Structure 1
Amino acid sequence: MSANTPFVLANATPYTWVLTGSESSKPMSAWSFPDLPSGISPPVHIEFQEGSVAGDTAAATYTFGDNSGFQHQFQIQARYLKAGTYAVQAYFQNLETPNHPKGSTIPLVGSFVLAGDGPANFVSSFPPSGWMSTYLDLLTKYTLREICLPGSHDAGMSVLQGGTAGVNRDNVITQDSNILFQLGNGVRYFDIRPVISAGRYLTGHYSQVPVVGAWVGGNGQSMESIVAEVNDFTSREKELIILHLTHTRNTDVGFTSYRPFNKEEWQNFVGTLLSKINYRYISSSSTNPVDLTALTVGEYITHQPAVLVVCDCDPDFLPSGSGLYTNANFPLTDDYADTEDLETMKLDQFTKMRKNRPAYNSPCFLLSWTLTQNPWSAVGAPGGTSIFDLARRANPELVKVLFANITANNMNGPNIILEDFVGEDAVAMAIAVNFFVHGRKT
Structure 2
Amino acid sequence: MGQSGYLTLVNSTDTAWRKTYQHSYQMNIWDFPNVIAAQTSISVYIEWNQHFFNDSSDDAGEVVYSLEGTSDFFEIQASATSGFDIKVYFANLKIYSNQNEALFSLGWQRKGYVSFILSGMQGKYSSTNLNGSSWMQDNISILGTKELSEICMLGARHAGMNVRTSNTFGASDCNVITQTRNIREQLQLGVRYLDIQPVLRNGDFFTGNYHKIEAISMWRGATGQSIDHVIEDVNTFIAVRKELVIIKLSNSLHTYTDNGNYRAFNKSEWNSLLKKMSGINYLYCSLPTIDLAVKTVHDFISERPAVFILVEGVNNLGSFDGKGFFKESCFNMYKKQSNTNNTLKMAIDQLQSMRAYKDEYFLLSWIVKQNAVQAAMCFLEVASGIKKLANKANQQLPNLMYSKITHSTFPNMIILDNILTSEAAAFAMAINWKIHTVKKTNDTFNNVEKITN
Q: TM-score, normalised by structure 2?
A: 0.89
Deviation for aligned residue 1:396: 1.5
Aligned to 1:77: 77
Q: Which runs of 5+ in 2 are unaligned?
A: 108-113, 440-453
Matched residues in 2 for 1:144 and 1:255: separation? 43
Change (3 A) 1:139 1:58: same
Identify which range, 329-338 or 339-348, moves more after superposition: 339-348
Aligned to 2:365: 368
Change (3 A) 1:41 1:255: farther
Identity of aligned residues (%): 33
Aligned to 1:105: 103
Change (3 A) 1:195 1:61: same
The one-character-per-residue Cα deviations of 1:7-41 (angstroms, maximum 9, x if unpaired) are 211111121111111123x2311111112112322
The one-character-per-residue Cα deviations of 1:360-402 (angstroms, maximum 9, x if unpaired) are xx32100000011112333456533211121122112211121
Q: Which runs of 5+ in 1 are unaligned?
A: none
Deviation for aligned residue 1:254: 7.6
Matched residues in 2 for 1:264 and 1:47: separation? 60
Aligned to 2:85: 87
The one-character-per-residue Cα deviations of 1:293-319 (angstroms, maximum 9, x if unpaired) are 011111111210111211113242342
Matched residues in 2 for 1:94 and 1:6: separation? 26
Match of 1:276, SS state, is coil
Change (3 A) 1:213 1:11: same
Aligned to 1:11: 11
Deviation for aligned residue 1:253: 2.4
Instruction: Report matched runs for 1:26-425 at 5 Å.
Output: 26-34=25-33, 35-50=35-50, 51-54=54-57, 56-65=59-68, 69-81=69-81, 85-100=83-98, 104-109=102-107, 110-119=114-123, 121-128=124-131, 129-253=133-257, 257-271=261-275, 273-283=276-286, 285=287, 289-319=289-319, 320-357=321-358, 362-380=359-377, 383-407=382-406, 410-422=407-419, 423-425=421-423
Aligned to 2:437: 439
Match of 2:57, SS state, is coil
Match of 1:219, SS state, is strand
User: 1:117, 1:439 within 8 Å by CA — same for their partners in 2?
Assistant: no
User: 1:237, 1:305 within 8 Å by CA — same for their partners in 2?
Assistant: yes
User: 1:214, 1:255 within 8 Å by CA — same for their partners in 2?
Assistant: no
Matched residues in 2 for 1:145 and 1:113: separation? 23
Matched residues in 2 for 1:228 and 1:180: separation? 8
Paired residue type of 1:33:
F
Matched residues in 2 for 1:253 and 1:132: separation? 43
Change (3 A) 1:235 1:367: same
Identify which range, 426-435 or 97-106, moves more after superposition: 97-106
Matched residues in 2 for 1:374 and 1:27: separation? 42
Deviation for aligned residue 1:100: 4.4
Aligned residues between the structures: 423
The one-character-per-residue Cα deviations of 1:217-240 (angstroms, maximum 9, x if unpaired) are 111111111110110010111011
User: 2:57, 2:80 within 8 Å by CA — same for their partners in 1?
Assistant: yes
Matched residues in 1 for 2:176 and 2:104: separation? 32
Deviation for aligned residue 1:55: 5.6
Q: How much is the aligned-residue C-alpha RMSD, in angstroms?
A: 2.0
User: 1:52, 1:80 within 8 Å by CA — same for their partners in 2?
Assistant: no
Paired residue type of 2:39:
G
Deviation for aligned residue 1:282: 0.9
User: 1:240, 1:300 within 8 Å by CA — same for their partners in 2?
Assistant: yes
Deviation for aligned residue 1:165: 0.6
Matched residues in 1 for 2:143 and 2:259: separation? 46
Change (3 A) 1:103 1:355: closer
Matched residues in 2 for 1:153 and 1:38: separation? 32
The one-character-per-residue Cα deviations of 1:109-162 (angstroms, maximum 9, x if unpaired) are 31100111221x211112122010011011011111100001111111111111
User: 1:248, 1:261 within 8 Å by CA — same for their partners in 2?
Assistant: yes
Matched residues in 2 for 1:241 and 1:411: separation? 25
Match of 1:196, SS state, is strand
User: 2:27, 2:59 within 8 Å by CA — same for their partners in 1?
Assistant: no
Change (3 A) 1:194 1:356: same
Deviation for aligned residue 1:251: 1.0
Aligned to 1:429: 427
